[in-house]
């Protein structure tokens, strides 16, 4: 049985600015990978689904109707503890996510719509006993055509995610295993991305004190389920 803890948090804008300058879960280290995403994606990026292109100096991802699956692009990197950051803006899409895989199957993601942000451990076996665990689903107001910043920290069995001034964290034994193939998903048309980076990380020795100071946020309602949605896998 996977042990887990959850924390549902939202920060005021001023606090988010100071948090960006102060360690939270992780203390960032050396740069592992970085890209401005100002050109069409090339190696080491691997596009599995959808259309990925350069538009106005940024990388744009769009779902293709014939795929019957969200657009997906990933890096082949194998990671341990890390801090990951990038910026995105909606250009008509319904949803996007930052997704991290385990050695086999999915591990974790930050799932984003214009109206909500969900931070979760993913279902790691689909047909087995493991289940997805949503640490927090928070209300959001992410305007199309506006850039938003995402940050994901994973250290040991802990995860902390941030989208603008929305933050949540949680833990699972799965997170202490190797992390694989970080990438983006897009549902619909389209989402733009820029300024992506991955840095090594170590645990902030003050993390428990930091976590205790973060105020709770306002949960968002569960998304409406479409008929037959349970039979269709989420974008990978």
**Under 8 Å between Cβ of 214 and 167:** yes
Phi, psi of 41 (to 5 degrees): -65, 135
Report the distance separating Cα 198 and Cα 31, nearest Å.
6
pLDDT of residue 91: 98
Phi, psi of 212 (to 5 degrees): -65, -20
DSSP-assigned letters across all residues of 22-48: S-SSEEEEEEEEEE---S---TT-EEE
**Under 8 Å between Cβ of 111 and 95:** yes
- The domain locations on the chain are 6-220
pLDDT of residue 54: 98
> Which residues is 18 bridged to in the sheet?
none
pLDDT of residue 121: 97
Cβ-based neighbours of 101, under 8 Å, separated by 6 or more: 74, 107, 179, 180, 181, 182
Choose which CATH entry (2.60.120.560, 3.40.190.170, 3.30.460.10, 1.10.10.10) describes domain 6-220. 2.60.120.560
Burial class (CB in 10 A: 0-12, 13-18, 19+), 134: middle
pLDDT of residue 11: 37
Cβ-based neighbours of 65, under 8 Å, separated by 6 or more: none
Nearest to 88 by CA among 196, 198, 197: 196
**Under 8 Å between Cβ of 195 and 85:** yes
For the chain of 236 residues, list the mean pLDDT of each consecutive stretch of 10. 41 40 92 97 96 98 97 97 98 98 95 97 86 94 97 98 95 96 98 98 96 79 64 47
Report the distance separating Cα 73 and Cα 96, nearest Å.
12
pTM for this one?
0.86
How far is C-alpha 56 from the geometric centre of its chain's CA atoms?
A: 24
pLDDT of residue 2: 41
């Amino acid at each position: 049985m996977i042990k887990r803890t959850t924390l549902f948090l939202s920060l005021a804008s001023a606090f988010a600015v100071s948090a960006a300058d102060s360690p939270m879960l992780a203390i960032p280290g050396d740069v592992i990978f970085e890209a401005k995403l100002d050109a069409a994606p090339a190696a080491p990026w691997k596009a599995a689904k959808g259309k990925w292109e350069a538009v106005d100096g940024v990388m744009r991802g769009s779902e293709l109707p014939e795929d019957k699956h969200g657009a997906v692009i990933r890096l082949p990197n194998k990671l341990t503890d890390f801090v990951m950051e990038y910026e995105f803006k909606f250009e008509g899409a319904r949803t996007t996510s930052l997704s991290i895989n385990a050695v086999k199957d999915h591990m974790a993601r930050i799932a984003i719509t214009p109206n909500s942000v969900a931070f979760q451990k993913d279902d790691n076996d689909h047909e087995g006993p493991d289940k997805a665990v949503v640490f927090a689903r928070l209300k959001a107001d992410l305007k199309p055509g506006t850039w938003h910043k995402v940050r994901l920290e994973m250290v040991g069995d802990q995860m902390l995610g941030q989208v603008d001034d929305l933050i949540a964290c949680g833990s699972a034994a799965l997170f202490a295993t190797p992390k694989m193939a970080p990438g983006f998903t897009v549902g619909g048309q389209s989402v733009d991305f820029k300024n992506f980076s991955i840095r090594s990380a170590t645990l902030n020795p003050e993390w428990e004190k930091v976590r205790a100071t973060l105020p709770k946020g306002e949960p968002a309602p569960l998304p409406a389920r479409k008929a037959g949605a349970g039979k269709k896998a989420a974008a990978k």
